[in-house]
Amino acid sequence: MSKLPGTEVTNFVRGPAWVFYRAPPSKHLGREDDDPNPRYTDQDKARFQDPELHLQHRKGIISRTNKSFYIFRRGENNEAGMKMAAEQMAEKLGHDPVLCSKLIPKWELGCRRITPGPGYLESFLRPNCHLTDSAITQVTEKGLRTADGKEHEVDVIIYATGFDVSFRPRYPIVGLNNIDLREQWKEDPEAYISVAVPSMPNYFMMMGPNCLGGHGSLVESLNWTGDYFVKWIKKMASEDIKYVVPKQDKVDAFIKYCDQVHKTLVWSGGCTSWYKRGKVDGRVTALFGGSAHLFNRMLGEIRAEDFDITYNTSNPFRFMGNGFTAFEMDPQSDLSWYVEKAETLRC
């Protein structure tokens, strides 16, 4: 906005944030320039017509992203990252002491979501761009009044204060024993590996509590979650299952595990973040307690022992039908498919 001619822009911030990237985004393209949002060139696009080169490019981005999980662990790596980020931010702010004190965090790198923010910090060096960290107390006829008593006259207010991170549904979702999920999640939202909820039969969700939202590829995590749903759907359809619901003690154990791991990660650090439902000292309810690879492994197979399973009939083996499989009723089927070649034993 501050680039537009004739504008005066005031940014009202609630607190600092890490505006930082470890390497120029152009590095993903094999280049070393400072462009914060590099374009794919015609040469790049032509190169990606080769499926193998395109795959290598994608894998390179994901590998670097997954490797970055280590920086979220408390300790030397994170402290080194904090120092690097603070130096990068200070340089972009022209080492202005007032701007640096208001915009460079003191808490851990990654405690709140890191943003690349191309051009954001540099904009404060323009004479028409202003910053205030005094809380907004009132919207007036002329603009905004802040806690320091100052009224800021404005023509346009751009409202960007975040979103609802409570996980509570905005409409009734009623499960077993007439339990409403809105009430069940009134205090802390809890789920089984982010995908299922006690007392809510056949209720599967993407991006639930303690999901893979803090690092790695969000798109891939959604793919893994969808694949997990399909595994359950196939099992339920083929085994005459009426509904499944995660056991409360298994969910309690999963939450306990996440809480223990989060103590070793900066997501539980000294900032206010949506990871902790807008609290400083709250539990991390938004993010999975582990890496993208661990999340993938946990959703790779169904742990049916973690669920209560209710069948459509009193006999859980009724799905076996008349004693035959559909496969063997097909005259074209190979009824000796399981016979393997004989192995030669060498002494």
Into which CATH architecture does domain 176-319 fall? 3-Layer(bba) Sandwich (3.50)
Q: For 171-208, how does the pLDDT look when each residue is reduced to its tens digit (9 = 90+)?
A: 999 999 999 999 999 989 999 999 999 999 999 999 99
The residues spanned by each domain of the chain are 9-153, 176-319
pLDDT for 24 equals 66
Task: Give the Cβ contact number of residue 252 at 10 Å.
Answer: 12
pLDDT for 339 equals 96
Placement of tokens 């670097």 in the chain: 64
- Name which of 107, 150, 113, 115 is nearest 131 in CA terms: 150
Share of the chain above pLDDT 90, in %: 79
pLDDT for 25 equals 67
- Look up residue 128 and give its amino acid: N
247 vs 310: CA distance, rounded Å: 12
Non-local (6+) Cβ contacts of 164 within 8 A are none
Q: For 91-121, how does the pLDDT look when each residue is reduced to its tens digit (9 = 90+)?
A: 999 999 999 999 999 999 999 988 888 889 9
pLDDT range class, residue 307, cuts 50, 70, 90:
very high
- Look up residue 181 and give its amino acid: L
Q: Pick the range with the lowest mean pLDDT from 61-70, 124-133, 263-272.
A: 61-70
Q: For 205-263, how does the pLDDT look when each residue is reduced to its tens digit (9 = 90+)?
A: 999 999 998 888 999 999 999 999 999 999 999 999 999 999 999 999 999 999 999 99
Mean pLDDT of 62-86: 92
Mean pLDDT of the chain: 93
* In the predicted structure, residue 23 carries a pLDDT above the cut 70: no
Q: For 116-155, how does the pLDDT look when each residue is reduced to its tens digit (9 = 90+)?
A: 888 899 999 999 999 999 999 999 999 999 999 999 999 9
Mean pLDDT of 16-34: 76
222 vs 208: CA distance, rounded Å: 11
Task: Give the Cβ contact number of residue 55 at 10 Å.
Answer: 11
SS3 284: coil
Q: Specify the higher pLDDT residue, 44 or 165.
A: 44
* In the predicted structure, residue 26 carries a pLDDT above the cut 80: no
The secondary structure of 61-85 as a DSSP string is HHHHHHHGGGGGBTTHHHHHHHHHH
Q: pTM, whole model, 2 decimals?
A: 0.88
pLDDT for 256 equals 98
pLDDT for 327 equals 94
Mean pLDDT of 250-278: 95
- Look up residue 86 and give its amino acid: A
